[in-house]
Amino acid sequence: MKLIDSHCHLDHRRFKRDIDKVIIKSKKKNLLGIITSTIDEKINKIIALRRKYKNYVFHSLGLHPPGYTNQSVKHIKSLIRENANEIVSIGEVGLDYYWVKEKKLRDYQEIAFREFINLTKELNKPIVIHSRDAEKEAIEILESEETPNVLMHCFDGEANLIDQLIDHGWLISIPTAVVNRKSHQKIAIKCPLDSMVVETDSPYLSPNKGRNDPSKVFYAVKKIAELKRIPIQEVAETTTKNAIDFYSLPI
């Protein structure tokens, strides 16, 4: 079966010493591609990586919401424009109410989030959403901006929000944490397969001990199949097709 890791962070320091081995391992595990998300201003490493592994490592460029400042948002928007022809999406961007508690900072997150949404429309790119402890608020903003192509990364909101996402034709990304976390399991059960992709968010959210990596995305596929009581191959084929279509991958 062929799989795609729809969201990870290959530029993380935990991959610094063996990134090539990580990618080779993912190929041996039948991954068709990896979407790596850069969420800060250091993109040179990923530019080199995506060129080395052309049509295998794909690049999404955004900014982690707790890092939003006037300067950082302006700079990332500039980088997105400069790299528009080489990135497959904008993200992750959005809201984070888990780390950010102060109202003034949350208000600025909303302003910056809307700027990123408008940029996706300008560049005709899909958007990948970070919405930790702010799922309802993020959805309201996406709706108010009439955002067309949305992927809810590592979605962990209330199950009753899933219908809203589906009605808009947006995708929900189920992480490898579904193996152990009941909140993700509930979402995986309720979310239709046609509205789903899978991700590792590696090096985070490992389904077992140790560092997570793209090859472990299979654990998410296996658990989803178990929860839905359907064949693993069906989950693999559908989530892979969904990822290819969403990111317009040339594979």
pLDDT tens-digit profile of 97-123?
999 999 999 999 999 999 999 999 999
> Is it the case that residue 75 has pLDDT exceeding 80?
yes
By the 8 A CB rule, do 68 and 110 touch? Answer: no
Q: For the chain, give the mean pLDDT.
A: 97
Compute the average pLDDT of residues 231-239. 99
> Is it the case that residue 246 has pLDDT exceeding 90?
yes
Number of domains comprising the chain: 1
Report how far residue 159's alpha carbon sits from residue 145's, in angstroms, rounded to the nearest whole number.
Answer: 23
Identity (one letter) of the amino acid at 239?
T
- DSSP E strands: which ranges in 1-70? 3-8, 31-38, 57-61
DSSP output for 199-210? E--TTSS-SSSS
Q: Measured over all CA atoms, what is the biggest interatomic distance in the chain, rounded to whole angstroms?
A: 48
> Is it the case that residue 157 has pLDDT exceeding 80?
yes
pLDDT digits (tens, 9 = 90+) for 8-38: 999 999 999 999 999 999 999 999 999 999 9
In percent, how much of the chain has pLDDT > 70? 100
Residue 10: is it exposed, middle or buried by C-beta count within 10 angstroms (0-12/13-18/19+)? buried
By the 8 A CB rule, do 61 and 90 touch? Answer: yes
By the 8 A CB rule, do 139 and 166 touch? Answer: no
Q: Which CATH number characterizes residue 91's domain?
A: 3.20.20.140
Report how far residue 21's alpha carbon sits from residue 35's, in angstroms, rounded to the nearest whole number.
Answer: 17
Confidence of residue 45 (pLDDT cuts 50, 70, 90): confident
Predicted TM-score of the model (pTM): 0.96
Tokens of 31: 């991954």
Domain region containing 39: 3-247
> Is it the case that residue 174 has pLDDT exceeding 80?
yes
